[in-house]
Amino acid sequence: IEESVADDIARFEESFSGINSRFRLINRIGEGTFSTVYKAEDLEYNQYRNNWDIDEQEKRKWSSPGHRRRNSRRPHYVAIKKIYVTSSPMRIFNELELLYDLRGSDSVCPLITAFRHLDQVVAVLPYFQHRDFREYYRDMKVPEMRLYFRSLFTALRHVHSKKILHRDIKPTNFLYNPAQSRGVLVDFGLAERLGTEWQQCACTLGAEERSYRVSHSVYAQTQHRPSCYPKNDNRSSRRANRAGTRGFRAPEVLLKCTQQNTSIDMWSAGVILLTLLSRRFPFFHSQDDIDALLEITTIVGRKKMKETSLLHGQVFETNIPTYSDNGHSFEKIILWCTSRSSDKNSGVKKELEDDEKEAVEFLYELLECDPAKRITAKKALEHPFLTKDYE
Ligand code: ADP
Ligand code: MG
């Protein structure tokens, strides 16, 4: 492993006294806005096996037959999530509590245990073998997409049935193993219970939100804002939970709707499907929420965005001349992105493959601007796109 990673591991071991006695840190596997995640071997797995803070049934699910054999010498791997000390205690508690509530599903990565040493909290999860999305998004075939989304929506059906919104669905938070056609949902750092008042959960807003504000103001100071932004806008701003990752946020999140529900996760899943079909990652590259809204407008058109804004009591106006009233179909966008546009000169009209057409039908259900009409995880699992090949 790299020297800098080795140094980081050494520093972590030093600052978190005693962690060495139970875990052998192997590598750093994730570094995000809220945490650093390490792969480690649980040295006392056999000894602690029966003391895990999760119930028997859970343990069986997550222990492979090899691990269950009494004298197994096979190493047992875990993911140690070191939550940054800048996260508020409420936020950390929220994540651990929701993970606890979600136990019992093999599509949500369970919490094995959590420790605190001074101001540092770590969560210990079973290590889940997966592949990096960037390695396969360019060549995943439609039948594999069916399996990917079956697994993702199985996870979301479980999460949503507990009246929990994940709020940050994106490829790095859904660890997928193509060889097993199975994935697990991780990262409940931004998740919340349905109906949580935003004012009350302002404290759970994470680092991204904060860094977003900072970078946004720096951006405003150093760059000329696009001319479509009102110059002296002194209307009071509306407050709503906007936590999540730019590019995966649903229109109602961008429009600061105060009554958001589980359908925001379905939109984000739709963005993943669009990414896979178009072979473009990230598909959206917005600087900020306005930019993100404009990117969606490019696709759905001005008319649809006006209607959508009205649903949330907002008025959408733009003087950018390039937006069409009715936008573009996903078929066309996918053909463009994959360099299969129809050739006007030769008159050759290109079309999507049959199974891509089925995927696009499903995509329309997910990237539906009206959250009330957007498909739910439960219904998605009954959709022909996902039931095919299972009958
Ligand atoms: P953050 O809040 O910092 O985004 P995550 O919980 O999303 O933290 O974890 C960050 C990364 O660490 C993930 O994208 C994944 O690559 C890796 N990771 C997290 N949990 C596991 C796990 N149980 N098994 C394997 N890798 C994991
Ligand atoms: Mg994450």
Higher pLDDT, 244 or 287: 287
Give pLDDT tens digits for 363-374. 999 999 999 999
pLDDT at 209: 43
Contacts of residue 346, Cβ cutoff 8 Å, sequence gap at least 6: none
Q: Is-contact 80 37, C-beta < 8 A?
A: yes
pLDDT for the residue 103: 93
Residues labelled as active-site residues: 168
Q: Tokens 């040295």 — which residue?
A: 43
Q: Which atom of ligand 1 has the smallest separation from the CA of 37?
A: 12
User: Rounded to an integer, what distance in angstroms lies between the CA atom of residue 134 and that of residue 347?
Assistant: 35
Residue to mutate, 170, 176, 187, 205, ligand 1, most ligand atoms under 8 Å from C-beta:
187
Task: Specify the higher pLDDT residue, 202 or 324.
Answer: 324
Going by alpha carbons, the residue nearest to atom 2 of ligand 1 is 34
Answer whether residue 64 shows pLDDT above 90.
Answer: no
Residue 32 CA to ligand 2 center (angstroms) comes to 6
Q: Of all protein residues, whose CA lies closest to atom 12 belonging to ligand 1?
A: 30
What is the rounded average pLDDT of the residues 229-250? 74
pLDDT band at 240 (very low <50, low <70, confident <90, very high): confident
pLDDT in tens, 330-361: 999 999 999 998 777 777 888 999 999 999 99
Whose Cα sits closest to atom 4 in ligand 1?
32
Nearest CA to ligand 1 atom 23: 127
Choice among 5-9, 290-294, 342-346, 361-365 with the minimum mean pLDDT = 342-346
pLDDT of residue 7: 96
pLDDT tens column, 34-44: 899 999 999 98
Burial class (CB in 10 A: 0-12, 13-18, 19+), 279: middle
Respond yes or no on whether ipTM tops 0.90: yes
Q: Return the residue whose CA atom lies nearest to atom 5 of ligand 1.
A: 187
Q: Which pLDDT belongs to residue 60? A: 64
pLDDT (mean) for 11-33:
92
Which among 318, 291, 138, 325 is positioned nearest to 223, based on CA atoms? Answer: 291
Reported confidence tier of residue 217, pLDDT bands at 50, 70, 90: very low
111 lines ligand 1 (CB under 6 A): no
Q: Is the CB of 308 under 6 A from ligand 1?
A: no
Query: Does position 49 have pLDDT exceeding 70, yes or no?
Result: no
Q: Which ligand is nearest to the CA of 36?
A: 1
- CA 268 to ligand 1 center in whole angstroms: 18
What is the Å distance from ligand 2's center to 132 Cα? 13
CA of 37 to the centre of ligand 1 (A): 6
Separation of CA 156 from chain center: 11
Mean pLDDT of the chain: 86
Pocket of ligand 1 contains residue 189 by CB under 6 Å: yes
The answer on pLDDT for 238 being more than 80 is no
Mean local confidence (pLDDT), 63-69: 52
Q: What percent of the chain has pLDDT over 70?
A: 82
Whether the full predicted model's pTM is greater than 0.90, yes or no, is no
Cβ of 77 less than 6 Å from ligand 1:
no
Is it the case that residue 208 has pLDDT exceeding 70? no
DSSP-assigned states of every residue in 71-130 = T-----EEEEEEE-TTS-HHHHHHHHHHHHHTTT-TTBPPP-EEEEETTEEEEEEE----
**Better-predicted residue by pLDDT, 391 or 101:** 101
Q: CA 161, CA 234: separation in Å to the nearest integer?
A: 41
pLDDT at position 288: 92
**Ligand 1 within 6 A of 100 CB?**
no
Where does the pLDDT of residue 273 fall: very low under 50, low under 70, confident under 90, or very high at 90 and above? very high
From 99, 106, 175, 209, mutation site for ligand 1 pocket: most ligand atoms within 8 A of C-beta: 175
| For the ranges 28-32, 46-50, 99-103, 339-343, the one whose mean pLDDT is highest | 99-103
Q: What's the 172 CA to ligand 2 centre distance in angstroms? A: 6
Q: Is 70 exceeded by the pLDDT of residue 74? A: yes
Position 247 pLDDT exceeds 60: yes
Of all atoms in ligand 1, which is nearest to the CA of residue 189? 2
Question: From start to end of the chain, where are the E strands?
Answer: 23-31, 35-42, 77-83, 113-117, 120-126, 164-165, 174-177, 182-185, 192-193
**Which of 330, 268, 272 has the alpha carbon at shortest distance from 301?**
330
Most distant CA pair in the chain, distance: 72
Residue 58's pLDDT is: 63
Look at residue 246 in the predicted model and tell me its pLDDT. 87
